[in-house]
Amino acid sequence: MVADMKKVLTVIVPTYNMEQYLDYCLSSLCVKRHAEVVEVLVVNDGSTDSSSAIAHGFATRRPDLFRVIDKANGNYGSCVNRGLQEATGKYVKVLDADDSFSTERFERFLGFLLGEDADLVLSDFVVVDTTRAIRKRISYDLGPGRRFELDEVCRKGAFCCMQMHAVTYRHELLQKMGYHQTEGVSYTDQQWIALPMVRVRTVACFSDYVYEYLVGRTGQTVAPSVKIKSLSDTARCALGMVEGYEKWKAEVAGRPVHDYLLGRIVPMVKEVYVTALTYYSPVTRKLLNDFDTELEMKGHDVYEYVASPGVSSFLGVRYLACWRRHRRTPMWMVRLLSRTYVLLLKLRRLGHKEGVMEVPVSF
């Protein structure tokens, strides 16, 4: 859909069974100032609870602000993709349904966007607990000024540690590059903060927070137990990032943003290997074999790079290269090595905390 420039911002709210949080989330978007330049697309991903009814209630009360898109379940990426198809704003921002915006700061942010023309706008965010109390603020200080060139700032620590809560993109940029998230899986927020950077040239900073990121709720996809269970999702998301890198790597060759992309993609790829080897079983072994084969086929450069000594080694042992050479190693031996790795990693963390020892671990 061609962007209607009367709207300066589209907020996409992917929603699946979020009845406990959705009212708070959408209420935080009910601005009075600049309401005419923002649209909120609540993309209901086949929820089986009252999420759709809650969203339609807001659309009935504030048709100027809210629109509900009910669709069959396709997971997080499919919601973002559908939202991007129907967005009419100059800029787009994603808000998870269990999170919220600071309403007052959101109004100021809209005013900021009305005078902005950068490809990417960064804003601070805060981490809140289940009582909505602020626990931490994450700031993005890129230096003096309001507007920056991407190649000048993409190696700065603040930028390299950026999270999806901070990001607002120019919609037209995503349309022209044909940006598309992997569907049917979780964790595609990592694609959101990586692949669009191939087309970003200018970055603006809004010097206040807008997004309030909720932590501590049961079932969040960042919980370790959930991540182990969803390892196949991580693998598919990582492969999607590798495919995007292969598609656009020539376009960013020789630019600092090339290193930024690898810095986002490689940890995602490594997470699949490390998690699968740490919790080795017949299931994770098969997943890892399939992942390794597909990675070699879809992105040979990343396949080689991730197993290099400087990227994946443990106590001087190149564990990925070793695993690739000895895939038929008895499962009990891999489990023993994995448990040793976990123990040494815990000792290293304890040493850092108490200042009594340090076990060198690099991976």
**pLDDT tens digits for 153-195?**
999 988 998 999 999 999 999 999 999 999 998 879 999 999 9
Tell me the C-alpha distance between 30 and 33, whole Å. Answer: 9
Residue 143: pLDDT band with limits 50, 70, 90: confident
Higher pLDDT, 35 or 225: 35
Residue 275: pLDDT band with limits 50, 70, 90: confident
Structure tokens at 250: 């020539």
Which residues share a beta bridge with 122?
Answer: 167, 205
Residue 361: pLDDT band with limits 50, 70, 90: very low
**pLDDT tens digits for 313-353?**
776 778 888 888 877 665 555 666 666 665 665 665 565 54
The pTM assigned to this predicted structure is: 0.86
282-298 helix and 231-252 helix, angle to the nearest 10 degrees: 10
**pLDDT tens digits for 226-271?**
666 789 999 999 999 999 999 999 999 999 999 999 999 999 999 9
Tell me the C-alpha distance between 354 and 345, whole Å. Answer: 14
Q: Percentage of the chain with pLDDT > 90?
A: 71
Question: How far apart, in Å, are the Cα atoms of 147 and each of 9, 118, 152, 157?
Answer: 19, 7, 11, 17
In three-state secondary structure terms, 169 is strand
Over residues 109-133, mean pLDDT? 96
Q: DSSP E strands: which ranges in the chain?
A: 9-15, 38-45, 66-71, 91-94, 100-101, 120-128, 134-138, 147-149, 167-170, 202-214
Residues 6+ apart with CB under 8 A from 207: 124
Looking at residue 68, the DSSP 8-state letter turns out to be E
